[in-house]
Chains A and B, each alone.
Chain A
Amino acid sequence: MSADAGTKSGTGTDTDQSWRGIAAGEADTIDSADRIRFTGGSGQLLRELLRPYRRAIWILVAVVVVENAARLAIPYLVKVGIDSGIPPIRENDDLGPLGVVVALVLGATIVQAITRQIFLVRSGRIGQDLLYQLRRRVFRHFQRLSPAFHDDYTSGRIISRQTSDIDAIYEMLETGFDGLVTAFLTLVGTAVILMFLDVKLGLLALLCGPFLFWITAWFRRESAKSYRVARERVALLIVHFVESMGGVRAVQAFRREPRDLEIFDVLNDDNRRANLVAFRLVAWFMPGVRLIGNITIAAVLVYGGYLAYHGEVTVGVLAAFLLYLRRFFEPMMEISQFFNTFQSASAALEKLAGVLRVEPSVPEPVTPVPLAHRRGGLTFEQVRFSYVDGRDVLPGLDLDVPGGQTVALVGTTGAGKTTLAKLATRFYDPTSGRVLLDGVDLRDLASDDLRSSVVMVTQENFLFTGSIADNIRFGRPGASDADVEAAARALGAHDLIMALPDGYDTQVANRGGRLSAGQRQLVAFARAFLADPEVLILDEATSSLDVPSERLVQHALRTVLAGRTAVIIAHRLSTVEIADRVLVMAHGDIVEDGAPADLVAGGAGHFSDLHRAWLDSLA
């Protein structure tokens, strides 16, 4: 296991990083292949994304070929101008041939300008459309995936799929694509023209090809490696930085600063060394290419001079050769830079393709069954469920909650209460058996029907950027201000909200707002009541409230829950008083079931024990 930790933290450093600890399956590390092709999933994803643009791309290819032809024609025209434009002037002041050539240069310039403009705008549009489609698809996909997926795949990774990965693709589209296409066409076009101009000189010039190929291949391989290491290093640096800033309260309270700085310095220096390796590769590669280019130019100059002396080539050809050779070597720089963006983009596409391949474990029904009678009756039939194979959380649950009943669910941690709630809201599907809402299997219900009927409030009282009113309105997007206020009033949250700096317009994301956990929870409650579902599930929803707020909510619940089915899960039994029925769960089974008073009066059961312990805890 220490070997595992060693390979993951890289090979370039021997500093002790045991503080980092061991984690299973580093899902985000890039695989070791320093490939430069889109393979497997990423290739398929790319093809899929490009499919609607096939025609547009062919047009682009045509445009870019014309553009490069015009671009490459200019040195050739310069040659023609020198060879056939100057002699007529010398001989009889005839400007005609030169005029034609200059007009052609001008024409080539204009063609190049127009095609270039078309190419840049069109390829830019395809790139942006593609990004938009990809963003949209990834966002919707994450929303479509089941909570089970989100339980494993941390939110940090979901966010980086949609930010840094998309950015990497954006980077490639913005800078890399144009550069690569132009570089490639320049390379091929120039080689063809050189051979066309003069075969002997052309062959001499192209002798540099193998060397260029070798140095580029070497650089590509090495920079892929070093770049990957550099990216991993900076990722580690970023994690440490963000965590020690985000958790600065704990850092300062526990005098963690020196240790954190020590770790930071190690990571900072690792990052520096990784970048140094990458930078030094460029320091070899760039002058290397230049050296090959300069040697070629010198050779062409000597051999070309020799050929010109013998009258085998004209001065114009020699001039054109030297101009073309310059252009031949320039794109090499572009290509080398493209490798890195290409590598990140390919890794990013690979990760995105992997995520997009995941299918929700809780799929939408193909032919949804409409909900005819909305009464809020909830039935569990022989429901078995396990998160991990072979370890049943619910071994076979039978439960019938008639519409309008308020049920309190009690039991120790791990008894299966939250699992039951997650099955009732179809965050998960049962391994076997059925969960029915008003007689319809949840798996046959359209998501819209299900979500408008069943709403769950948990401890996780996430609030979105926006005002308090916006957040309450999240429960029913069309609701008027009066509806929003009514929902808050029903919960007794109105006064609390009005006491905030801007009342309902107080921005929750604004740190100045200082909403306490309890206040946030009240907003979450109001949100659920505004949604007005037939079935309301409260999973530990009051646990972060202090006693007065909890009491406020309890009182509100009496009225709010009237006519609704409710399943209330609570560690603390204070909630039980409003329940019509109490279910005590243990090891995934219902061990007691009855009206609260009867269970307490029974005297010997789990519930009466719990009740007594709870009374004690109140002191």
Chain B
Amino acid sequence: MATTSRDVGLDPDPDQPPAASVRSLWRLRGYLCPHLGSVAIMLLTSLAVVGTSIGIPLVTRAVIDGPIADHELGPVLPLGLLALGLGVVEAVLIFVRRWVQSTAVLAMETSMRHDLYTRLQELPMSFHSKWPAGQLLSRAIQDLSSIRRFSGFGLIFLVVNIVQVVAVTIVLLGMYWPLGLVVAATAAPIVWLSMTFEKKYVVMSRRVQDQQGDLATLAEEGALGFRVIKAFGRSEHVASEYERQARSLHASSMDKVHLSARFWTFLEVIPNLAVCVVLLLGAIGAGQGALTTGELVAFITLLLSLVWPVSSLGVILAMAQEAMSAAARILEVLDTEPAIVGGDRTIAEPRGHLRFEHVDFAFPDAPDEIVLRDVCLDVAPGETVAIVGGTGSGKTALTALVPRLHDVTGGRITIDGVDVRDLELGHLRSLVATAFEEPTLFSMSARENLTLGRADATDADVQEAIDVAQAGFVRDLPWGLDTRIGEQGMALSGGQRQRLALARAVVARPRVLVLDDTLSALDVHTEKLVEDALRTVLGATTGIVVAHRASTVLLADRVALLQDGTLTHVGQHRTLLAEVPAYRELLSADAGDRVPA
């Protein structure tokens, strides 16, 4: 199948829908296995319900043809009690099926979601940078629901409905075969119609869904870009674009309305036409004594009881189709092997000696674009090195290699002499902590956000880190450290978020601290305070500091200049400033002629 035939190691493409097949659904059968007993019960009860639903009209026939026709009152009550018994049994069976089903399918869905989430957590940045969270979300929610719906409902009724249609048709044929043939003949156009309808409907629904997605993107941009739109006075421009998209959605939705209107009308017309024919032929037959009146009534009742099972076959087939593509989309994730897996070594007494040895790097989805080439750097334990380079020189990529958010494509990185790829992944990442330029805050309490890297941090650790990062503002939040921050909580400014990200890295007490341009959003005054506090932390920790500003560079013992992916100069700030024009160009604001004095 499509997902496995791809080269191992290549991530699937989110823009390319995987091929849906019965096999993809079948491969997920393992999740249904613990609930096989339940599935059996669901199937058996459903089949039994078919029996009762055929039985009740037959009892009706017996009443009409027996007591009423023979003018004999005696059997009415027992037959009535039989109908009642069947009715009660039917209700109980339905109850059992639904009860069992709710437990089983929800448990199945939950365990699939667990596995999906676990796998997604293992997949590296190269996967996640290609797959937007929304794409993954629709797999975790919508796709799993459609599999759940199919396995709890579709699968059962696919079997049951076919059995019911066949059984009823046999009963009808047995009762009065010419009419039975009429009924059997009507099933064919309904099934055919349902299937062609579903095919068209799936295409149209896909188009409507896509357009809804496009519209959602515009709504998103309207919200996120609001201030830009406002500043330029382009509300009319974006609104008319939004309306244009909304109109095409409207048009596609109307196509869908027309198609389903036609389909649902046909679906009701065909059984009614069958009733016409059955009434005509049946009444003639009854008049001529070929069948009894009771049989005719039972016949029509049974005929009408077939409408749902037959017409829902189309819906069920659509459900199956949907579940198959859902399964394929989920397998796409589950089949992707994590490209970055940990080794088994740990360092008993880490000192934090970091070495880059002839490191090459290119992003996995652009292997020809070399980002880093032959980078060599030795950072002694406790030493801090600043990385300086122009836009796009590969600074951030370099820092991402240390905690293995990406892997080197050539050479190696060692900590205390051990290749990072041989280290246990959790252990490696406990040695290295990064404060990112664009910090991610989660919708959780401030404390939970701070202790991300060390859940067992004491309150004193947290307070200390807050002081270092000058993030005292968290204590002034309405509920202090228990205040929820992030998208669903208190809104924080860019500078506040950066300081929290820094505090988060400090709390983790790493051997190697990476600061990826962490102070860019701070004003000069705060930056100075943070830098003073950081000096103590960095005194005992190995540090990599990505810097744009001379003031940040001064945190470091040495500076490495990165140009086009290669380290060209390493040395003292003052030396580089004096000797390397490119460095001067990058860092020196050439203060002399700034303000004409």
The count of chain B contact residues (Cβ–Cβ below 8 Å) is 185
Q: CB distance B275 to A74 under 8 Å? A: yes
Q: CB distance A272 to B83 under 8 Å? A: no
Q: CB distance A255 to B426 under 8 Å? A: yes
Asked if B444 CB lies within 8 Å of chain A CBs, one says yes
Minimum CB–CB distance from A448 to chain B (whole Å) comes to: 6
Instruction: Pick from B80, B436, B548: contact of A249, CB below 8 A.
Output: B436
Question: Which A residue sits closest to B258, measured CB to CB?
Answer: A121
Question: Which B residue sits closest to A518, measured CB to CB?
Answer: B391
Give the residues in chain B near A276, CB-CB below 8 Å: 102-103, 106
Question: How many CB-defined contacts (below 8 Å) exist between A and B?
Answer: 510
Query: A-facing mask of B417-460, CB < 8 A → 1, else 0?
Result: 00000000010011011101111101111111000110100000
Q: CB distance A319 to B223 under 8 Å? A: no
Asked if B523 CB lies within 8 Å of chain A CBs, one says yes
| Among B154-162, B188-196, B260-268, the stretch in contact with A | B260-268
Q: A255-B426, A286-B98, A548-B586 are in contact. Are A600 and B597 (CB under 8 A)?
A: yes
Question: Which B residue sits closest to A500, measured CB to CB?
Answer: B392
Q: A158-B223, A309-B73, A601-B597 are in contact. Are A102 and B304 (CB under 8 A)?
A: no
Query: How distant is the Cα of A108 from the Cα of B272 in the complex, in angstroms?
Result: 9
A window 450-472: CB within 8 A of B: 450-452, 455-460, 462, 464-465
Give the residues in chain A near B134, CB-CB below 8 Å: 242
Question: Which B residue sits closest to A250, measured CB to CB?
Answer: B440
| Among B23-31, B109-117, B347-355, the stretch in contact with A | B109-117
Give the residues in chain B near A54, CB-CB below 8 Å: none
Q: CB distance A460 to B487 under 8 Å? A: no
Question: Which A residue sits closest to B234, measured CB to CB?
Answer: A474
Q: How large is the interface on A (under 10, 10 to 19, 20 to 34, 35 or more residues)?
A: 35 or more
Query: How distant is the Cα of A244 from the Cα of B495 in the complex, in angstroms?
Result: 22
Asked if A143 CB lies within 8 Å of chain B CBs, one says yes
Asked if B508 CB lies within 8 Å of chain A CBs, one says yes
Asked if B345 CB lies within 8 Å of chain A CBs, one says no
Query: How distant is the Cα of A368 from the Cα of B482 in the complex, in angstroms?
Result: 49
Q: CB distance A249 to B226 under 8 Å? A: no
Asked if A355 CB lies within 8 Å of chain B CBs, one says no
Q: A155-B223, A245-B133 are in contact. Are A512 and B260 (CB under 8 A)?
A: no
Give the residues in chain B near A486, CB-CB below 8 Å: none
Minimum CB–CB distance from B95 to chain A (whole Å) comes to: 4
Asked if A399 CB lies within 8 Å of chain B CBs, one says no
Asked if A210 CB lies within 8 Å of chain B CBs, one says no
Q: CB distance B222 to A21 under 8 Å? A: no
Query: How distant is the Cα of A243 from the Cα of B528 in the complex, in angstroms?
Result: 32
Asked if B187 CB lies within 8 Å of chain A CBs, one says no
Give the residues in chain B near A358, CB-CB below 8 Å: none
Q: CB distance B548 to A323 under 8 Å? A: no
Give the residues in chain A near B377, CB-CB below 8 Å: none
Q: CB distance B260 to A22 under 8 Å? A: no
Q: A98-B280, A139-B219 are in contact. Are A254 and B91 (CB under 8 A)?
A: no
Give the residues in chain A near B242, CB-CB below 8 Å: 135-136, 139
Asked if B125 CB lies within 8 Å of chain A CBs, one says yes
Asked if B331 CB lies within 8 Å of chain A CBs, one says no
B window 482-536: CB within 8 A of A: 482-491, 494-495, 504, 508, 520-521, 523-528
Minimum CB–CB distance from A191 to chain B (whole Å) comes to: 19
A window 276-300: CB within 8 A of B: 276, 279-280, 282-284, 286-288, 290-291, 293-295, 297-299
Asked if B224 CB lies within 8 Å of chain A CBs, one says yes
Asked if B578 CB lies within 8 Å of chain A CBs, one says no
Asked if B54 CB lies within 8 Å of chain A CBs, one says no
Q: CB distance B121 to A241 under 8 Å? A: no
| Among B4-12, B56-64, B175-183, B319-327, the stretch in contact with A | B56-64
Give the residues in chain A near B107, CB-CB below 8 Å: 272
- Further 14 A-B residue pairs, CB within 8 A, beyond A257-B121, A275-B102, A611-B595: A81-B279, A113-B265, A113-B268, A139-B242, A151-B491, A154-B491, A241-B136, A242-B133, A280-B98, A302-B80, A447-B235, A459-B494, A571-B523, A577-B593
Question: Can you name 8 A-B pairs with beta carbons within 8 Å?
Answer: A22-B482, A239-B488, A254-B453, A286-B95, A309-B67, A326-B304, A450-B233, A576-B595
Q: Nearest 3 A-B pairs (CB), nearest first?
A: A451-B233, A294-B87, A89-B287
